[in-house]
Amino acid sequence: MKTSTRTFPFRKTAACPASATLLSFRSDSLSAEATTLVKDHLEICDFCSAELPLLAHHAVGAERGLKTPEIPLDLRILAESILSRR
């Protein structure tokens, strides 16, 4: 078993940036100062280093999910007829 000198547990700590911050970091939309802070944190935090690619994967999925599916035409006609009945 390999001994690690790191004392950070493999979980979110109080020092960890929020997921939203990590996402902003990934899309380069943080200020230069914040980017440096996140970079420094990623070097010492295995959890956030592991979370970053996961967030990226999730973000792509969320982008794809942005388009709401069309309501089927027959269902729409039914809904409209029920709603206009009053």
The H-or-E segment that residue 26 falls in is helix 19-26
16 makes contact with Zn ion (CB under 5 A)? yes
**Tokens encoding 9:** 């547990």
Nearer residue to Zn ion within complex by CB, 17 or 81:
17
Residue selected from 1, 39, 48, 69 as contacting Zn ion according to rule CB under 5 A: 48
**Spatial distance between the Cα atoms of 70 and 62, rounded to a whole number of angstroms:** 18
Residue with tokens 């950070």: 8
23 makes contact with Zn ion (CB under 5 A)? no
Residue selected from 23, 30, 38, 45 as contacting Zn ion according to rule CB under 5 A: 45
